[in-house]
Structure 1
C-alpha cells in the first residue's frame, strides 16, 4: 500500500517533519502503515502502530471516552500519536514542551490533507470511475453479421 502514496502527500509529510524538533513521522490507516519517515525498520514501526492502537483501545475502555491523542515520554525521545477517525499520525520528538504545538500542526495537516489521504487509500476506485465514465458515452454502431439483432 505504501507504493501507491502520491508524491504530494509524501512531500507534505516531509514539510511537517521539519516543524519543531521532530525526529520521525508515520502516517497509518487503521493498523497499517501508509507512509513512514521514521529512522527505524518497517517491522518496528508496525509494532509502534500496533502498540498505540492497543493503548487507545485499552484507555477508551467500553466506549466511555474518546481519545484523540496519546503521548508517551521516554529518556531521550517522546512518542505521540494523534488520531483522526481511522487515520493516525505517530510523531517522535525530543522536546516535551513542543507537544501541544506538534499536536496542533498534525491536526491541521490531517484537515488539509484529507483529499490526498483519500486518494492514496483508494487509487483503484478512481481509475474504475474514470473507465465507467467512458463506458456510457455513445459508441459508434458495430455491424456484425453474426449477431441476430442487427438492423442494416
Structure 2
C-alpha cells in the first residue's frame, strides 16, 4: 500500500499542474482589435530547416515560397483582417490561383481564443499561436509535420507587419 503524506500530495499536485500548463497559453490573450487591418508577411522561418526536393535545405521558408510561386505573389500579398471576422488575401489576379494552391484559401474567417488565432477556409482550418503582438507587428507560430519531404516536425514562425 502506498502512503501519501501531505508533502507528497503537494508535490504530486505541483507536478500535475506544471505538466498541464502549455507554452501556447503563456502570456496575455490576443488583442483582437489589433489584428484588424491590412498585414503583410515579412518573414517565415522553420526550425529545424526544411528540405525541398527542388531548392534544397533552408530555414528561410518565405524565400522558398517565393522561389516556388513567384516573389511578386508572396511578397506583396496583403492579409485583410476585418472586424466582422472575415479574412481576405489581396494580390494581383494572376496570383490568386497560386495563393489558393499554396495556402488553401484566398478568403476565410478568423477568430481568437486566448493566444490562438484560428483561420478557417473552405477546406481547412489552421491555428496559430500568437507569440508576439503589437499594433504594428504580429508573430505567429505553428508546428507541422513535413512528411512528404523530410519527415521532420518543424516550428514555423511567421512575422507580419501592418501596412
What TM-score do the two structures reach when normalised by structure 1?
0.26
Higher helix fraction: Structure 1 or Structure 2?
1
Which of 1 and 2 has higher RCO (CA within 8 Å, sep 6+)?
Answer: 2
Higher strand fraction: Structure 1 or Structure 2?
2
What TM-score do the two structures reach when normalised by structure 2?
0.25
Larger Rg: 1
